[in-house]
C-alpha cells in the first residue's frame, strides 16, 4: 500500500497534475475591452479571463513550458517591449529595455530562452531580425544577419531549430535555421506566414494564399523537409496564426471575416472547425497552454507520465 500511495503523491505533486485530466487553456490577444490585452480561455470556451487589463496595448502571448509564466509584448513604456507575467501572482517584469521594437516572443522548450523579433540593429524600422535572450533578458544573441524582414519565430520541440518567416529570398516564405542561427534554409517556395512547429517535431503549420488555388490565407501543414504539403482549412474564410495543441491532434487559429477576428479549433485529422470565441472584434495570436500529456514532454511532464504509469502498474497488480 505504501508503494501505491507514494506513486499517487508523485502524481498529485507534479506541477502539471492539476491539468492532467482537466480542460486545456488557450491564451490570446483581444481588443474586446477597448484596447489590446492578454486573455486566457478554457478550450470549451468558458472561463474567459483578462490577464493584463492595462490601458496600454499588450499582445502576442507565449507560454513557458511549465505553464507558470507567459511572455508577451507590451507598449506600456512607449514602445513594444517583451514582458513576463507570473500567472499565480500576476507579477510582471520587463525583459527588454531600449527604443527598438521587440515583438513575436517564443519560449524555448527547455524554458531557458525566449526568441523574438527586433529592429534593434536595423536602420529601417519595418525590418526585423530574430534574436534570443535568456529568461532574465540577458545574453541577447542576434541569429539572422543577412537582411530582409524576419519574424514569427517558433521552436522545434527539441529546441535545436527555429522556424520563422523571412523576406530574404524575395518571397516571404517560411525558413528554418539552427537555434544558433546557422544552416538557414527556405522551407516553402511561396509566400507564407505564421509558422507553428508541431509537438511531434515532424510538421510545421503555416498560413498561405499561394497554394492549392486558394484565394484567401489558408492553413497548411508541411513536413520539416518541405514535402507533403496538406491543406487544413477549406479557404472559405481567411485562416491565420495557428497554434498546436500539446497532443498534436488539434490546432487553434484565427478566422477573419468582415473585419472581425475569431478563434476556432480544428482537428488535424480533418473535420469541421469549432468556434471558440465570440465575434466581438479582434481576437488573435492564440497560444495553447502546456498540459501533462504532450507529444514532446519536457522533464516535468516526463516525470508526470512516469508517475502515472508506475502508479497504474502497481494498482493493477
- pLDDT tens by residue, the chain, 317 residues: 444 433 333 333 333 333 433 589 999 999 999 999 999 999 999 999 999 999 999 999 999 999 999 999 999 999 999 999 999 999 999 999 989 999 999 999 999 999 999 999 887 777 999 999 999 999 999 999 998 899 999 999 999 999 999 999 899 999 999 999 999 999 999 999 999 999 999 999 999 999 999 999 999 999 999 999 999 999 999 999 999 999 999 999 999 998 899 999 999 999 999 999 998 899 999 999 998 644 543 434 333 333 333 333 333 33
Residue 14 lies in a domain: no
Domain with 104 in it: what CATH number? Answer: 2.120.10.30
Structural domain of 156: 27-291
Distance CA 25, CA 27 (A): 7
Residue 257 lies in a domain: yes
Residue 21 lies in a domain: no
pTM of the model as a whole: 0.86
Residues 197 and 154: beta-carbon distance below 8 Å: yes
Residue 162 lies in a domain: yes
Residue 112 lies in a domain: yes
- Beta bridge partners of residue 206, listed in sequence order: 220
Distance CA 302, CA 308 (A): 10
Residue 236 lies in a domain: yes
Residue 18 lies in a domain: no
Closest to 305 (Cα-Cα) out of 29, 24, 47, 19: 19
Residue 302 lies in a domain: no
- The total of structural domains in the chain comes to 1
**Residue 295: its pLDDT value, please?**
52
Amino acid at each position: 500500500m505504501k508503494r501505491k500511495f507514494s506513486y499517487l503523491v508523485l502524481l498529485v505533486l507534479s506541477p502539471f497534475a492539476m491539468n492532467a485530466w482537466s480542460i486545456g487553456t488557450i491564451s490570446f490577444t483581444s481588443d474586446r475591452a477597448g484596447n489590446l490585452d492578454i486573455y486566457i480561455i478554457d478550450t470549451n470556451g468558458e472561463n474567459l479571463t483578462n490577464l493584463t487589463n492595462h490601458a496600454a496595448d499588450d499582445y502576442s502571448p507565449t507560454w513557458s513550458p511549465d505553464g507558470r509564466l507567459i511572455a508577451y509584448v507590451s507598449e506600456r513604456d512607449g514602445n513594444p517591449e517583451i514582458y513576463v507575467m507570473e500567472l499565480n501572482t500576476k507579477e510582471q517584469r520587463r525583459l527588454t529595455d531600449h527604443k527598438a521594437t521587440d515583438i513575436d516572443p517564443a519560449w524555448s522548450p527547455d524554458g531557458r530562452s525566449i526568441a523574438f523579433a527586433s529592429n534593434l540593429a536595423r536602420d529601417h524600422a519595418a525590418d526585423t531580425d530574430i534574436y534570443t535572450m535568456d529568461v532574465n533578458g540577458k545574453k541577447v544573441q542576434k541569429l539572422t544577419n543577412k537582411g530582409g524582414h524576419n519574424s514569427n519565430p517558433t521552436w522545434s520541440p527539441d529546441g535545436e531549430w527555429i522556424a520563422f518567416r523571412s523576406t530574404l529570398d524575395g518571397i516571404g516564405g517560411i525558413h528554418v535555421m539552427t537555434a544558433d542561427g546557422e544552416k538557414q534554409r527556405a522551407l516553402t517556395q511561396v509566400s507564407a506566414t505564421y509558422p507553428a512547429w508541431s509537438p511531434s517535431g515532424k510538421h510545421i503549420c503555416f498560413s498561405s494564399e499561394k497554394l492549392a488555388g486558394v484565394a484567401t490565407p489558408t492553413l497548411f501543414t508541411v513536413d520539416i523537409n518541405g514535402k507533403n504539403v496538406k491543406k487544413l482549412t477549406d479557404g472559405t474564410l481567411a485562416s491565420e496564426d495557428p497554434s498546436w495543441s500539446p497532443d498534436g491532434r488539434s490546432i487553434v487559429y484565427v478566422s477573419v471575416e468582415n473585419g472581425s477576428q475569431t478563434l476556432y479549433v480544428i482537428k488535424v485529422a480533418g473535420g469541421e472547425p469549432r468556434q471558440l470565441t465570440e465575434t466581438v472584434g479582434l481576437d488573435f495570436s492564440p497560444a495553447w497552454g502546456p498540459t501533462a500529456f504532450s507529444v514532446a514532454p519536457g522533464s516535468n511532464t516526463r516525470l508526470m507520465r512516469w508517475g502515472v504509469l508506475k502508479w497504474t502498474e502497481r494498482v493493477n497488480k
